[in-house]
Amino acid sequence: MTNNKLRKDKEKEFYMQHIETFKAIGIAEPFFTIKTAFFKKGKYGRQVQFFDSELKKGEDIYIEFYENIQDVSGKVVNIVPMSEDRQLVKLKYNPYFDEEYDFQETIDNAGKADRKYIVPVNEMVVVLSSGQEISYALYEKRKEEAALEIPQLQKSLGLFPDFDTEYLKPATVAEIELSHKDPLVTEMTLQDFAAIIWKKPVSNKQWLNDLIKTL
């Protein structure tokens, strides 16, 4: 399969990923394409290359970013989404693109000049599945916040902690002795567990509430 055919096939496949979003937006025939988002020396953040013919259409351009998978010889053997969330991005039509975007001019074999424009990803907007648009900067911020929350969530949803090592401190031994009974983990209720996790005296066991207050 040639690179051009692979790219066209993948573009159709990627487009189908966003059908429901386009329905939410209310666009029957969007100008959709796939692009690579790369880092360029002297530029801040990722950049995307657009052909002169694409920007001259006078339409918003909907994009999903992709990455090339190459074999040991450097041949492109597959095209995959750049991110797991398969986010749809939009470059709003800018009638002043020729003045505002940097470009490189090339000459083809027929002697025809063509321009390739470089557009920062941060100038685009992210289109959510609901059709709502947010800035790319806000999208990245939300991703960072979500990434920070995941370890905390995994910790809270993990297996029961080692109560002997994590929650029993020297002061709690006296409390347990006063109860004249060494409580078993099997006797712990969900309310007891919530009290321990939240570190709040909401248990029905007074000795446990008193114990939490000493933490």
All structural domains of the chain with their residue ranges:
3-148, 163-213
Distance from C-alpha of 31 to C-alpha of 21, rounded to nearest angstrom: 14
Instruction: Say whether pTM exceeds 0.85.
Output: no
Q: Which of 132, 35, 120, 138 is nearest to 79 (CA)?
A: 35
Distance from C-alpha of 45 to C-alpha of 15, rounded to nearest angstrom: 25
Amino acid at 7: R
Lookup: tokens for 136 = 């790319």
Q: Which pLDDT score, from 0 to 100, does residue 176 have?
A: 47
pLDDT higher than 80, residue 43: yes
pLDDT band at residue 107 using 50, 70 and 90 as cut-offs: confident
Distance from C-alpha of 86 to C-alpha of 25, rounded to nearest angstrom: 17
Q: Which pLDDT score, from 0 to 100, does residue 195 have?
A: 74
Q: Say if strands 102-107 and 113-120 run parallel, antiparallel, or are unpaired.
A: antiparallel
pLDDT tens column, 197-211: 877 787 777 777 778
Q: Which pLDDT score, from 0 to 100, does residue 203 have?
A: 79
